[in-house]
């Protein structure tokens, strides 16, 4: 969570500059040893800060890591509508760029 807070701080500070990256990406490993309640609050905060500051917050998560039961009222629907890409290995056409793992 320290890395999450640090990254959010840097993203906010950089968003005020004339030239900025305009995005922040976190891989699922950032939340590996974090309980579901904290993951939910981090995702909610990330979305809020990104919207207020004007950068894009991208998170890659496995579906079993998404703490749907811990989201505050209304955020679950917002979260689900923000999902851009779902990858699956449940079918033969699943994978990424034609590669199956």
Instruction: Kindly report, residue by residue over 60-93, the tens digit of the pLDDT.
Output: 888 888 898 999 988 888 888 777 777 777 777 7
Q: Give the C-alpha separation, 34 to 42, whole Å.
A: 10
89 is a domain residue: no
**Pick from 29, 31, 10, 5: which is nearest to 21 by CA?**
10
Count of domains forming the chain: 1
Task: Tell me which H or E stretch contains 73.
Answer: none
**Stated pTM of the model:** 0.79
Domain containing 74 equals 2-82
23 is a domain residue: yes
53 is a domain residue: yes
34 is a domain residue: yes
pLDDT of residue 63: 81
SS3 content of the chain, % helix, strand, coil (to 5): 50, 10, 40
101 — pLDDT class (breaks 50, 70, 90): low
Q: Give the C-alpha separation, 68 to 80, whole Å.
A: 10
87 is a domain residue: no
């Amino acid at each position: 969570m320290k890395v999450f807070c640090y990254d959010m701080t840097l993203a906010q500070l950089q968003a005020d500059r004339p030239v900025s990256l305009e995005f922040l990406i976190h891989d699922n490993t950032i939340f590996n040893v974090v309980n579901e309640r904290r993951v939910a609050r981090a995702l909610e905060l990330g979305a809020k800060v990104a919207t207020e500051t004007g950068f894009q917050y991208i998170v890659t998560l496995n579906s079993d890591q998404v703490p749907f039961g811990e989201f505050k009222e209304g955020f679950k629907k917002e979260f689900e509508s923000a999902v851009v890409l779902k990858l699956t290995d449940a079918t033969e056409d699943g994978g990424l760029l034609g590669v199956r793992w």
